[in-house]
Amino acid sequence: MLFNDSYFSIEEPSQGIYKDKGSKFLAYLFPVQHEEEIKQHLQALRREHPSARHHCYAWELGVSARAWRANDDGEPSSTAGKPILAQIRARQLTNVLLVVVRYFGGTLLGVNGLIQAYRGAAADAIQNSEVKEYFIQYRYSVRFDASDSSPVMRILKEFESRFLSDTYDDKRVITFDVKKQLAEQMEQRFKDLYATELKLLKTD
């Protein structure tokens, strides 16, 4: 999927469960921002469930440039990680980790049974989460003379900018975020203020 002006993710962890023929599949959905967080969650779950047979997972990170991984953790190829990832993508989520911990119940489920179980547990965790839409933000700095404060502040307010810092050297410098969908119009407005220096710092 290609993101335009917004993306979907979660703010709080959630859990799900699926049971079949004595096997229990516990799903854990986490909001994450980088791979180190993912490692920490995986390690914590292995400590919490040391006797579980498998800790299968999938994750997706990023907005415009995405990274992802799906891991079967010893289950037959493509029966666990890919079904989990498919549920993440079905809801168009990013910046999430979804882990399904399996306790074996003594009866083999077969390939189709495993796919259904991992899919079902993952879907339940997502169903129990609060999915939110987030707008892609562009980060800027604007440098200007104090005499231009009024028109600069007017533009920043008009385009719903989120202030990050406000400092002074020989001029005033404000760092702020603005929604991607408003960025082009905002840049055009600043071009009319010839004494200001607008700089794009970050696009995700």
Domain end: 133, 152, 184, which one?
133
Q: What is the mean pLDDT of residues 150-169?
A: 94
DSSP string, 43-89: HHHHHH-TT-SEEEEEEEE-SSS-EEEEE-TTSSTTSSHHHHHHHHH
Total structural domains within the chain: 2
Same domain assignment for residues 109 and 141 = no
Q: Cα–Cα distances in Å, from 79 out to 4, 26, 71, 194?
A: 31, 16, 10, 60
Domain region containing 175: 136-202
Residue 1 included in any domain:
no
Dihedral of CA atoms 121, 34, 55, 8 in degrees, nearest 10, equals: 10
pTM of the model: 0.80
Torsion sign, CA atoms 185, 188, 189, 190? positive
CATH of the domain at 117: 3.30.230.30
Q: What is the mean pLDDT of the chain?
A: 94
Domain boundary pick from 107, 133, 159: 133
Are 116 and 17 within one domain?
yes
Is residue 56 pLDDT above 70, yes or no? yes
Domain assignment of residue 123, yes or no = yes
Question: Quick one: pLDDT at residue 193?
Answer: 85
